Amino acid sequence: MIVIIDYGMGNLRSVQKALEAVGHSAKISSDPDQVRHASKVILPGVGAFADAASELRRTGLGDAFREAAQAGKPCLGVCLGLQLLFDVSEEDGIHEGLGIIPGRVVRFVSSPGLKIPHMGWNTLRIRHQAPLLKGLGPNPSVYFVHSYHAVPERPEDIAAEADHPTPFTAMIWRDNVMACQFHPEKSQRVGLAMYANFAAL
């Protein structure tokens, strides 16, 4: 069973519906034990990093997700869910994340004419052929909404980049852990294909 973690900060039903659209059921749960016993786990999220990290600690869901990742189960972070995988975020101070992927989350650097948040469709530049990208071909377009982005310590963890206006991490992949800064559930055919790829792992 695929479990979508409910810690009160995600458009969970949209993720669930996207999986259903490609023929896979998923359970939305706030129970850490259900996360631990899932075959695959999705950590979605929108909103503030500090609030999300605090809620994951308070509920034990963060520990359960970390255990699932350490057990080798396919784990997917989406948007804020990607950022929470990292050591720390600089959003509204310094806040500790799950520490699964080494690195930091930082704000886009303001410059004349640059819109923050980065919102809308953008093209991925693939660096490593991650499992989520199977069958998508080069340079797929996906939908972003974010003001902060992750900076991994290890370049090899970056599966794809996009530009705003300089390169930033759009997707990570390390063993069984993968994550998207964009929203696959808002990315139409490409996003549905990514969820199908994840469910098939």
Q: What is the pLDDT of residues 24-50, one digit of tens each?
A: 999 999 999 999 999 999 999 888 999
Structural domain spans, the chain: 2-199
* Contact of 82 with 150, CB cutoff 8 Å: yes
Active-site hit among 75, 79, 146, 164: 79
Separation between Cα atoms, residue 158 and residue 134, nearest integer Å? 16
Q: Does the annotation count 164 as an active-site position?
A: no
> Which pLDDT belongs to residue 198?
98
Burial 134-146, CB ≥16 within 10 A → b, else e: eebeeebebbbeb
Active-site hit among 95, 118, 149, 183: 183
> Which pLDDT belongs to residue 36?
95
pTM of the model: 0.96
Token pair for residue 67?
Answer: 């255990």
Low-confidence ranges of the chain (pLDDT < 70): none
Q: What is the pLDDT of residues 10-29, one digit of tens each?
A: 789 999 999 999 999 999 99
> Which pLDDT belongs to residue 24?
97
Token pair for residue 46?
Answer: 């929108």
Token pair for residue 25?
Answer: 């059921």
Q: Does the annotation count 79 as an active-site position?
A: yes
CATH of domain 2-199: 3.40.50.880
CA-CA-CA-CA dihedral for 95, 98, 100, 105, to nearest 10: -30
Active-site hit among 91, 118, 146, 185: 185
Backbone angles phi, psi at 38, to 5 degrees: -70, 155
